Structure 1
Amino acid sequence: MRDADGNPVLDAQGNQLFPVLDQARTFRFVETVSVRTGDPHAPKYAFIPCFAGGTLIETATGPRTIETLAPGDMIRTRDNGLRRIAWIGHTSLDRRQLDLRPNLRPILIRAGALAPGLPERDLTVSPQHRVLVSSKIVQRMYGQSEILVAAKHLLAHPGIEAICPDEGVTYWHMLFDRHELVLSNGTWTESLFTGPYAMRNISYAARREIFSLFPELARPDFCAHPARLLLNGQDGRKLAERHIRNRQPLVSSD
């Protein structure tokens, strides 16, 4: 199995592959360690949509940092009003892990990068986390006013960049009973989408918890329905380039 950039991430048995080295950096090997595979409690890495710690999520009582949220909390959504969190989890990666796996480095969307005032403050998400893009260009290209694009496919856009924090990153995953759009630092982004790719890339323990809440997700014939059209990498990058060329914001009010 490979990620959207073509890097192998899982072998035929579903085990995580290590590492993909960043060729722009110099590494010195100082020790060898044993890696135990098959640990059901070992976290899978962040190949799924996640918010970095500190992200402000709009709730029924106002914005709260995502790490303070819990199942049962009511979250404001774009399509369905206030919705209850069904499950929330997190994965922490230190600087060494981010050095070894540059494709896991968080994406920083600076305040105002999507449009004037959006996001309202710097927003940090996992590479796969999808952001709502809405513009006349979207309407012309896809025949609908709003679509979802992974943050990593917007890297060509000014104010959006991959970062490697010295302190590492903790990614938070938030699940509802359906795919939702939530306000994060003032801009609309997705909740955890229970498509097959995401479900393969969370830990065994997390998957077991989620299946206990939503048994239908374990069925081979289950088909998850996204809140908006999900663009693949090629189309997402093309869309970003079109906005840059036309000097248009990724989110417009008209």
Structure 2
Amino acid sequence: MATANELNINTDATADEMAAELFGDGIQVLTSSYSGDTAASGIYSGADTTTPGVAPADSGVILSTGRAVDFTNSDGTTNTNQVGGRTTDNVNGIDGDVDFNSLTPGNTQDAAFLEMTFIPEGDFITLDFVLSSEEYPEFSNSQYNDVVGVWVNGQLAEVTIGDGSASIGNINQGSENIYVDNTQDQFNTEMDGFTITLTFVAPVERDKINTIKIGVADTSDAAYDTNLLIAGGSVQSAFVAQDDEIEMPAGAARNLDVLSNDGDGSGVLTITHINEVRVYPGDTVELASGQFVTLNDDGTLNIEGNGDVETAYFNYTVTDDDGHSDTALVEFNAITPPCFTRGTLIRTLGGECAVEDLRPGMAVMTLDHGPRKLLWVGRRKMACDPRTTPIRFAKGVLGNHKDLLVSPQHRMLITGQFAELLFGEDEVLVRAKDLVNDLTIRPATDQTEVEYFHLLFGDHEILWSDGALTESYQPGPETATGFDADTQDELLHMFPELDLTTGSGYGPAARLSLKAYEGRVLASHLA
């Protein structure tokens, strides 16, 4: 049990002082202003000693929908969480701010936010933060979805988690590796739950004046306090670590070079923490979700799955040889092979044919190469659970002439202006599960058993399935664990250069394949 002691918070800090605390190397601050109740903001210090394991840094800025000083209490006992639902509904925060209202279906209240102008020396800025709240855990998936907002040059910055929002509804106990429960007074804070250190990364205009707005707001009502703690000096452009994503078969192990996209590619980078745990080469961290992450001597990470098909996250902290530090997130998807369901009609040279009636040697119509010889058909029956249940696309949503069911990992071809605007491509591939909108695209929860089919060609192809454009099977690392030895031998006979552990040796994807969070961003524009 932790001991209740008040965190030192200077609520008299001015906007200029808070800006000076927030910004780090590679940034020149020009102007700053604060909007909200005077009791809802401040500069905190001594957090590593007073509230170990909670704040993102020893000092920083706190913005609250209540009174900032209520983040902790001064009881001096192990009763660190005296009030089960700490709420301050009499602060004079900002109600109905247009930007914050745009983040949620309901109106927002008690917003507290900073607005600043600055000149960066780099092309990106980063910001490390912790979200803590009394809304946790009871109201995590309710209308009371308190939210953090960060806008850089008027554009909303997003986290690489779920729907991209830094909100109670998106980041909670459903993502156990990045959420910390405090309902049993394990930590010195009044808040019932909080996140590990998370990061916003946003593009900026180098050597020009940029704007940033950072804050937090209550949603739907003014009750139950939520706090945004921002690490001091973390809003910087000198050294930026970028988030990573990896796909791997359920139960397999993969190696990931997370440092390859961090910084400017020069100097020595050192990983110091994995999911808030101090590590050295050779150390292994067990995640709450059951996976193991090991730091190797060369700075890469080995990720060992637990056999579950799921999406999970963890963070890491890295420093460069100039002493700069940043935190980034890793999203890993433990997957099964993408596939069609029984009854799906595939366009062939002779017309539409049910996928279960296709045979090797048949000519199937492809978008890029016309009729192509089908080389292999795989099939597998399995019980449906939350991770294997097919995704149903309602008739017409992607040009399909009837409801289309595909596996969650199956990639769909998305075309149009938003693909071009967001990713610079006329056509992109997006996993079915990343397109879910709970209206026209949603899990087929009425299914108790599913039979999946895999269609393999000499290249990765785009096919017509029930009229919608979707991918063929592209051998990947899941081949080594998703199929039996006879099937693996059959695939290796057709493609001798195929590496079953990595998928290399088969050929490139037919289109740019979006990462999970990119797919969700695109889906939000299509809704």
TM-score normalized with structure 2 length: 0.37
Q: Which of 40, 45, 58 is equivalent to 2:347?
A: 58
Displacement of 1:198 after TM fit?
4.8
Amino acid in structure 2 at the alignment position of 1:222: G
Give the superposition deviation at 1:9: 2.3
Match of 1:180 among 446, 454, 461: 461
Alignment of 1:45-84 (within 5 A): 47-84=336-373
- What secondary structure, in the 3-state scheme, does the structure 2 residue paired with 1:91 have? strand
Higher helix share: 1
2:356 aligned with 1:110, yes or no? no
- C-alpha displacement of 1:204: 2.8
From the CA coordinates, give the structure whose radius of gyration is larger: 2
> Within 2, Cα distance between the matches of 1:52 and 1:162?
13
| Candidates 452, 460, 467, aligned match of 1:171 | 452
The equivalent residue for 1:241 is: 524
**2:249·2:481 contact (CA, 8 Å) conserved in 1?**
no
1:251 is aligned to none
Match of 2:407 in 1: 126
Partner of 2:387: helix, strand, or coil?
helix
What secondary structure, in the 3-state scheme, does the structure 1 residue paired with 2:498 have?
A: helix
Measured on the aligned residues, the alpha-carbon RMSD in Å equals 2.8
CA apart distance, 1:103: 1.0
- 2: CA distance, partners of 1:7 / 1:214: 21
Query: Within 5 A, what are the aligned runs for 1:143-158?
Result: 143-156=424-437, 158=439
Q: CA deviation at 1:12?
A: 4.7
Relative distance call for 1:19 and 1:183 in structure 2 (3 A) is: closer
User: What residue ranges of structure 1 are gaps of 5+ in the alignment?
Assistant: 21-44, 245-254
Which one-letter code corresponds to 1:81 in the other structure?
G
Aligned to 1:25: none
Letter in 2 for 1:151: A
Output the CA distance in 2 between the equivalents of 1:67 and 1:105: 19
> By how many angstroms is 1:208 displaced?
1.5
Letter of the aligned partner of 1:127 in structure 2? P
How far did residue 17 of structure 1 move? 2.4
Residue 142 of structure 1: how far off its partner (Å) = 1.3
- Runs (4 or more) in structure 1 with deviation over 6 Å come to 4-8, 13-16
- Over 3 Å counting, the alpha-carbon distance change for 1:121 and 1:211 in structure 2 is same
**Which whole-Å CA distance do the structure 2 matches of 1:165 and 1:120 have between them?**
20
TM-score by length of 1: 0.74
| Paired amino acid for 2:307 | L
- Counterpart of 2:485? 204
8 Å contact 2:251–2:308 — kept in the other structure? no
Where do residues 219-238 of structure 1 align in structure 2 (5 Å cutoff)? Answer: 222=505, 224-238=507-521
Question: What amino acid is aligned across from residue 250 of structure 2 in structure 1?
Answer: V
* DSSP-derived class of the 2:402 partner: coil
* Percent of residue pairs bearing the same amino acid type: 34
User: Could you give the per-residue CA deviations for residues 193-217 of structure 1, whole angstroms, max 9, x where no partner exists?
Assistant: 1233455433332222111111111
The alpha-carbon distance between structure 1 residues 170 and 5, as it changes in their structure 2 partners (threshold 3 A), is farther
The one-character-per-residue Cα deviations of 1:148-200 (angstroms, maximum 9, x if unpaired) are 00000000263101023445110000000000000000111000012334554
Question: Following the alignment from structure 2 to structure 1, what is the Cα–Cα distance between the partners of residues 336 and 388?
Answer: 7
Residues 11, 199 of structure 1: alpha-carbon distance in 2 compared, 3 angstrom cutoff:
closer
Is residue 46–residue 91 contact of structure 1 (8 Å, CA) maintained in 2? no
> Aligned partners of 2:442 and 2:486: how far apart in 1?
32
CA distance in 1, matches of 2:525, 2:305: 38
Does the alignment pair 1:213 with 2:494? Answer: yes
Equivalenced residue count is 209
- Does the CA contact (< 8 Å) of 2:434 and 2:516 recur in 1? yes
CA contact (8 A) 2:249 2:477 kept: no
Aligned residues of 1:46 and 1:104 also touching (Cα < 8 A): no
Counterparts of 2:499 and 2:379 in 1: how far apart (Å)?
21
Deviations 1:10-68 (A, max 9, x none): 05599972698xxxxxxxxxxxxxxxxxxxxxxxx971110000000000100000000
1:19/1:197 Cα in 2 relative to 1: closer, same or farther (>3 Å)?
closer
Q: Does residue 10 of the first structure (1) align with residue 251 of the second (2)?
A: yes
| SS of corresponding position for 1:104 | coil
- Measured in 1, the distance between the counterparts of 2:393 and 2:376 equals 25
**Deviation, structure 1 residue 5:** 10
Counterpart for residue 15 of structure 2: none
Q: Distance in 2 between matches of 1:238 and 1:199?
A: 31
For structure 2, the residue ranges without an aligned partner over 5 or more in a row are: 1-244, 255-303, 311-333
Whether the 8 Å contact between 1:182 and 1:189 is mirrored in structure 2 is yes
Q: Deviations over 1:65-91 (max 9, x none)?
A: 000001001000000010001110101
